[in-house]
Amino acid sequence: MKRVYLLLALLLIVAAVAGLVLFGVPTPEHKGYVLIAFQGFRYESSLWAFLALLLVLCLTVYLVRLLMRVLLTSSALVNPWSRLHHRRRVRQASEQGFVDLAEGRWARALRHLRRAAASDPQPLSYYLGAARAANHLSEYGESDALLEQALNRQPQAELAIALTHAELQLARGQSDAALETLQAMRARHPHHHLVLRQLQRLYLQAGDWTALLDLLPELRKEKALGNAELAELERQAWHGRLLQGGHARSDDGLTDVAALQLTWKAMGAKQRQEPELLALYTERLRIGGAEQEAEELLRGALKQQYDSRLVRLYGLLHGKDPALQLQTAEGWLKQYPEDAGLLLTLGRLCMHNQLWGKAKGYFESSLAFERHPETCAELARLLTQLGEVERSNGLFQEGLSLLDQRFGSATLPVVSAR
């Protein structure tokens, strides 16, 4: 509108200048003449009077518009239902809603964010926040309805809404529904990092180690996780698979040991050299009755790399040649003479070979380096067999006391043997 006023003023100036050029400057005797006649309407005046009238009209229109603007603005400030107040209420509702959501006031957050979502042209964040608040209130139907409304209002945000839906379903304990949601999103967005990571967390939470291991190559290819996190995840997955591998299903025709062996063969060479996984596998073989296989595997691994945890386990295994076992372990003693775990293993292997005196010496040497409840129990059993009952009872009591200390229990009173 301002441009119209400027154009009109410019036209008046041009007309006035043109009149002055054509007819000369008006004088008191010749003031100029303006005649406007249209369908019975007639206006006559001097040029100066006409110009003054136009100026007054322009100023009047300008002042009227200014007055109307002031009145409308003041009315908006006073009127609680004005557009200005509506925008302010929406802004306040959104700000307060997110504060309530962060502070755990779920009912207030739901009310404020739902109000903000209804009035904003881009309501996604408000709907997602309101759905989270409803989920915390266990109003699952309301939560899903809010996500549905978000999808209807902003269909291009389907992935963000689905990821939130899966997260809320997991929080409800609806693992199957969350898995269905994420698998649908993976089919439509196969390389999306958040989809892959949510699937990984779901499989980890559910203990679905087979599915997690199948997902790992994709996680690695897409670099959805760091190398250290991937390595730990893979170790954890194989650990879970080994624990499950000892329980064969009735419909696969495999024994527990055969199922374990298949799992072990499916692992990579790096994982098979991991001491924790190797210890778990050999322990499961021992429990399954395949001690000879476990002993051979553990002996070969310890020749490649010495590990105290594996050495302790080696003493529990009964190989097909107990003398060879003892000879192998005594070879390690030259390099690790102060390893209490190795001395405990040597004592146990001597027991397997019925070398009672030698076993007693190894157990006592182990206790000199570390007072361990297992060593106390082994030596106590041997002393009972050898007739040293009083000392055996004392070692049993010491072993129990050491166990109490390890598990934070109150120390049992020591009863002296009579």
- pLDDT, one tens digit per residue, over 73-113 is 555 444 454 454 557 777 888 889 899 999 999 999 999 99
- Is there a single domain that holds both residue 70 and residue 95? no
Task: Assess if residue 52 is contained within a domain.
Answer: yes
Residues of the chain with pLDDT under 70: 1-34, 38, 47-48, 70-86, 246-254, 407-418
Same domain, 349 and 404: yes
Structure tokens at 344: 């405990």
- Looking at the structure, do residues 343 and 412 belong to the same domain, yes or no? yes
Give the residue among 285, 365, 278, 341 at the shortest CA–CA distance from 318: 285
Taking the C-alpha atoms of residue 225 and residue 231, their distance in angstroms, rounded to an integer, is: 10
* pLDDT value, residue 250: 41
Identify the pLDDT of residue 403.
85
Block residue for tokens 């590990």: 307
Of 153, 157, 80, 167, the closest CA to residue 116 belongs to 153
On whether the CB atoms of residues 147 and 127 are closer than 8 A, the answer is yes
Phi-psi region of 207 (alpha: psi -120 to 50; beta: other; left: phi over 0): left
Give the angle subtended at the CA of 413 by the CAs of 408 and 417, to the nearest 5°: 135
Domain membership of residue 366 (yes or no) is yes
Tell me the residue range of the domain where 68 lies: 33-78
Element (H, E) at 366: helix 356-369
Q: Pick from 117, 106, 98: which is nearest to 139 by CA?
A: 106
Q: What is the pLDDT of residues 269-280, one digit of tens each?
A: 989 999 999 999
Of 52, 78, 104, which residue constitutes the final position of a domain?
Answer: 78
Tell me, yes or no, whether 11 lies in a domain. no
59 shares a domain with 44: yes
Q: What is d(CA 272, CA 370) in angstroms, rounded to the nearest whole number? A: 30
CA distance 299 to 54: 112
pLDDT for residue 15: 62
Report the pLDDT value the prediction gives residue 4, as an integer from 0 to 100: 60
Cα 294 to Cα 299: distance, rounded to the nearest angstrom: 8
Number of H helices, E strands in the chain: 21, 2
**Which amino acid is located at 370 in the chain?**
E
Are 365 and 397 part of one and the same domain?
yes
Q: Is 212 contained in some domain?
A: no
Q: Is residue 365 part of a domain?
A: yes
**One domain for residues 365 and 413:** yes
Residue 24 has a pLDDT of: 53
The total of structural domains in the chain comes to 3
Q: Is the same domain home to 70 and 129?
A: no
Q: Specify whether 359 is located in the same domain as 372.
A: yes
HSE of 78, CA atoms in CB hemisphere, 13 A: 6
- pLDDT given at position 417: 39
Within a domain: residue 235?
no
For residue 91, the domain's CATH number is: 1.25.40
Tokens 């080994």 label which residue? Answer: 242
Question: What's the pLDDT score for residue 93?
Answer: 80
* Cβ atoms within 10 Å, residue 80: 9
Whether residue 384 lies inside any domain: the answer is yes
- Here the CATH number for the domain that contains residue 374 is 1.25.40.10
Measured CA to CA, the distance from residue 82 to residue 88 in angstroms comes to 10
Q: For residue 404, is it within any domain? A: yes
Same domain? 135 vs 91: yes
Q: How crowded is the C-beta side of 382, counted as CA atoms within 13 Å? A: 24
Instruction: State the pLDDT at residue 415.
Output: 43
Q: What are the two backbone dihedrals, phi and then psi, of residue 101, each rounded to the nearest 5 degrees?
A: -65, -45
Q: Three-state SS string across 273-285, please?
A: CCHHHHHHHHHHH
Asked if residue 201 lies in contact with residue 185, where contact means CB atoms within 8 angstroms, the answer is no
Q: Are residues 40 and 92 in the same domain?
A: no
Q: Which one of 62, 78, 94 terminates a domain?
A: 78
Residues 356 and 370 grouped into a single domain: yes
Q: Which of residues 78, 109, 131 is at a domain's end?
A: 78
* Torsion sign (Cα): 324, 328, 330, 331: positive
Q: Whole-angstrom distance between the N-terminal and C-terminal Cα of the chain?
A: 114
Tokens of 93: 């509702």
Taking the C-alpha atoms of residue 107 and residue 43, their distance in angstroms, rounded to an integer, is 72
**CB of 384 within 8 A of CB of 417?**
no
pLDDT of residue 256: 82
